[in-house]
Structure 1
Amino acid sequence: MPPAPRVTSPVDPGFWRSPLRGPWLTSVLGVVLLAGVTVLFVTGLLSYAAYNPNLSPVNDKTPDKGLLGFYLFDWPTDPHWLYRLNQGLHVTVGITLIPVLLAKLWSVIPKLFTLPPARSPGHALERVSLLLLVGGALFEFVTGVLNVQLEYLFPGSFYPLHFYGAWVFFGAFVTHVVLRLPQVVRLLRERGWRQRLRDPRPEPADEADEADEAGEADEAGPVARRPAEPTVSRRGALGMVGAGSALLFVTTAGQTVDGPLRRTALFAPHGGGDPGSGPNGFQINKTAGKVGVEPRDTGEAWRLVISGPRGDVRLSRGELLQLPSHSAALPIACVEGWSTSDQWWRGVRLRDLAALAGFDADPPGVLVESLQRHGAFRRAALRDNQVRDPRSLLALHVNGEDLSPDHGYPARIIVPAAPGVLNTKWVSRLTFGEL
């Protein structure tokens, strides 16, 4: 028997020898990604809408959206856990899908080296969409994970990068689904789910011939022409992918939910970190030291400036404490996916401060400015519906004690269902009116 030809280049089909590659495995992984990526895209758009970017340029981290802003709407304040659920789902699903994405890329990687690059206009479109799909997927997942772990890696640029990258990726994703979904449905219907999964053998060598006869060899997933000896079964391969996703879920989901899972959130915000105990012992995103807020800025000389039709009103913290106070149980939820449980906040209602500024009825939106010297969202705008909500406070206390310096002493904003960065800390000025 003559020796097998030597293969050294990935453009040679014989270079790829795994007996597991084939239309069935690729299709199963694709169906999982179809559901997961759809959830990611929808929750991602909702996350951008929650920032109310149409309200004021200070909130808009994705300029020149044009037609891409069609989905924006006035973000509600009910239910108060809305952003916590949305962003927790977005980040947790994204991280959980990483093993599925890598397995899917592994299953189709020979197609990236197929020659000739394009055999027809339709094939050329499919190849371009595949390149955009792979590049877009890697870009979105890598930047998303890095932002979760390294907040300051993309100072001021993460929002537009992730936003526009998502549109490129999802456009390629939709094109790919339109071209492939009918065939995937037919293949899975004909070959079944349970029967294939229960078959302990890896994809057989004659799978290539079957794929050729069905016209699927290049369409749904490449099949090895000279398969190597199997080292794992089809069931085992999917089991490893599922176990990887389950492990990432367990080490991520706890950053959003309460209970024992919070202790297992090793993938939690920026590598975790113990926020301490006591009334102020809950997660902190940015500390006073990181943003340049010093003790002298928040001492006895601090004054809150309230601007409106009646001019400027300046109040010390002691004078704020003399105003009618109210309480609200609200969480803090951030774009990185982490959130706190409901904390008990107490302070002055924003709508009461709007009345001091001259808006006795129907208070408008407000521009909030912070003492922080650097970092994103030194200024943030809130809508009129957020100002009017009776749970929206200029908080002075949390869980029965004064705010700590890292939680925004001497005063911070707390608004139901708003992203954490809109709950401005170290507030120095409130300007009610046109934004």
Structure 2
Amino acid sequence: MARSPFSPAFWRSPLRGPWFTSVLGVVLLGGITVLFVTGLVSYAAYNPDLSPVNDQTPDKGILGFYLFAWPTHPVWLYRLTQGVHVTLGITLIPVLLAKLWSVVPRLFTLPPARSVAHALERISLLLLVGGGLFEFTTGVLNVQLDYVFPGSFYPLHFYGAWVFFTAFVVHAALKVPAAVRNLRRAQEAGEARETGELVSPSPAEPTVSRRGALGLVGGASLLLFGTTAGQSFDGPLRETAVLAPHGGPEPGSGPGGFQINKTAGYAGISAAETSEEAWRLVVTGRTGTVRLSRADLLRLPLHSSALPIACVEGWATSDQWWRGVRLRDLAELVGHGDPSDVLVESLQRHGAFRRAALRANQVADPRSLLALQVNGEDLTPDHGYPARVIVPAAPGVLNTKWVARMAFGEL
């Protein structure tokens, strides 16, 4: 009779064993913990408590217990945290796949549950496998700008992360003590003497040692790291990020020759509606509403800030010199001497965050601008002409382009 996956003899790889699985598990224990923490930090950076504008997960409830007002210092904060999140996530893919391969026989063990502890382990394993594949797959698709999954990335990834990490914590609590014992035993006795449920009762002839297999996994992770990490840096390192959509050389030359995510064409912005004659910025607040042309804005006190743009996909620009009107000066123009939260609306017709909100601390920062120029020249259409928001340390989507309206104190 043909062997089935439920038969231990079906799994013949000599690589599977407690030592191999435990080493991968220890790596993932640290890596996934960092991923989860930096993911929560990224979520906080969107200031989702500015509801309902920024809140992409309106039913988060107690899952948002930790949220805090995202700071504006240092200016590279989001660039660092999201760069670590995305780069580490991609780097861990070979480790995750190898770990799943190493424990796949456990998904076919019979009986399904031998005890309460075993049942908890099986449930956590199913949630862990499903949640891990879901989180890593949606994360990679988002980095590659392939939005083929149903619904919005933000709630899918947010809720998926909590399910995955809960299963991960349960699984770690059950298996970490055993993993530590396995590593100690292997160190004392050598991997050739391993025993356990993951060891095949009739192994095939080995073509590589377990240490050699770990070397292959580590090499694959290093390759992914080396071809992705550069998107978060400046200069020559960026050109090494050949697997990242925003890696490689700068996309152009001149003052506007730096990375963008959405072009004016993609956002549905026409030259007619952004012309000097047609475009007006509507600013509302305590004392009413003012309408400002671009010429009116240029007559206000102008200030400069050297700031990068960092996005959820993990990429970042180098520091660019932005010049425009401080947000706190616009707030004062409509009666908000003490800057308040602001709702910013864009002319764009397609894509998420056509409306975005900023906290009072972001408005108050003197480096936060309604930018009219970049690197000494007027903004290009793709960089947000006639005016765009630029705020230190804020995620890129909150740096609204093609601004049409700003409402202070409306939230």
User: TM-score of the superposition, structure 1-length normalised?
Assistant: 0.91
Contact 1:136 1:168 in 2 (8 A): yes
* Residue in structure 2 matching 1:325, options 287, 294, 302: 302
In the alignment, does 2:9 pair up with 1:14?
Answer: yes
Task: Report 1:145-294 matches (<5 A).
Answer: 145-154=140-149, 157-192=152-187, 203-204=191-192, 206-207=193-194, 211=195, 217-218=196-197, 222-269=198-245, 275-294=251-270
User: How far, CA to CA, are the matches of 1:83 and 1:368 in structure 2?
Assistant: 20
Task: Report 1:369-380 matches (<5 A).
Answer: 369-380=345-356
Residue aligned with 1:129, SS: helix
Percent identity reads 76
Structure 1 residue ranges without an equivalent (≥5): 1-5, 197-202, 212-216
Contact 1:47 1:83 in 2 (8 A): yes
Tell me the residue number matched to 2:333: 356
* Residue in structure 1 matching 2:365, options 361, 365, 389: 389
* Residue in structure 2 matching 1:112, options 76, 84, 107: 107
Contact 1:59 1:381 in 2 (8 A): yes
User: How far, CA to CA, are the matches of 1:71 and 1:160 in structure 2?
Assistant: 17
In the alignment, does 2:67 pair up with 1:72?
Answer: yes
User: How far, CA to CA, are the matches of 1:419 and 1:133 in structure 2?
Assistant: 29
Report the CA distance between 1:144 and its aligned residue.
0.4
In the alignment, does 2:382 pair up with 1:406?
Answer: yes
Count of matched residue positions in the alignment of Structure 1 and Structure 2: 410
In the alignment, does 2:308 pair up with 1:313?
Answer: no
User: How far, CA to CA, are the matches of 2:263 and 2:127 in structure 1?
Assistant: 39
RMSD: 1.6
In the alignment, does 2:275 pair up with 1:299?
Answer: yes
Residue aligned with 1:72, SS: coil
Tell me the residue number matched to 1:131: 126
Tell me the residue number matched to 1:3: none
Residue aligned with 1:189, SS: helix
Between stretches 23-32 and 310-319, larger displacement belongs to: 310-319
User: How far, CA to CA, are the matches of 2:384 and 2:7 in structure 1?
Assistant: 61
Residue aligned with 1:362, SS: coil
User: How far, CA to CA, are the matches of 2:37 and 2:284 in structure 1?
Assistant: 37
Task: Report 1:84-95 matches (<5 A).
Answer: 84-95=79-90
User: How far, CA to CA, are the matches of 2:274 and 2:107 in structure 1?
Assistant: 58
Report the CA distance between 1:298 and its aligned residue.
0.6
Tell me the residue number matched to 1:32: 27
Moved over 6 A (4+): 270-273
Report the CA distance between 1:375 and its aligned residue.
1.2
Task: Tell me: CA distance 1:383–1:154, structure 2 relative to 1, closer, same or farther (3 Å).
Answer: farther
Report the CA distance between 1:357 and its aligned residue.
1.0
User: How far, CA to CA, are the matches of 1:272 and 1:149 in structure 2?
Assistant: 14
User: How far, CA to CA, are the matches of 1:404 and 1:153 in structure 2?
Assistant: 30
User: How far, CA to CA, are the matches of 1:379 and 1:408 in structure 2?
Assistant: 14
Tell me the residue number matched to 1:200: none
- Which amino acid is 1:310 matched to? T
Deviations along 1:36-84, whole A, 9 cap, x unmatched?
Answer: 0000000000000000011231100111111101110011000111011
Contact 2:238 2:248 in 1 (8 A): no
User: How far, CA to CA, are the matches of 1:312 and 1:156 in structure 2?
Assistant: 36
Structure 2 residue ranges without an equivalent (≥5): none
User: How far, CA to CA, are the matches of 1:130 and 1:315 in structure 2?
Assistant: 58
User: TM-score of the superposition, structure 2-length normalised?
Assistant: 0.97
In the alignment, does 2:321 pair up with 1:344?
Answer: yes
Tell me the residue number matched to 1:81: 76
User: How far, CA to CA, are the matches of 1:60 and 1:378 in structure 2?
Assistant: 13
Contact 1:396 1:411 in 2 (8 A): yes
Report the CA distance between 1:267 and its aligned residue.
1.9
Contact 1:149 1:271 in 2 (8 A): no
User: How far, CA to CA, are the matches of 1:412 and 1:153 in structure 2?
Assistant: 29
Deviations along 1:174-209, whole A, 9 cap, x unmatched?
Answer: 00000011111122233339x95xxxxxx53x52xx
Between stretches 51-60 and 167-176, larger displacement belongs to: 51-60
- Which amino acid is 2:30 matched to? A
User: How far, CA to CA, are the matches of 1:347 and 1:269 in structure 2?
Assistant: 29
User: How far, CA to CA, are the matches of 2:12 and 2:339 in structure 1?
Assistant: 68
User: How far, CA to CA, are the matches of 2:230 and 2:375 in structure 1?
Assistant: 22
- Which amino acid is 1:250 matched to? G
Task: Tell me: CA distance 1:303–1:152, structure 2 relative to 1, closer, same or farther (3 Å).
Answer: farther
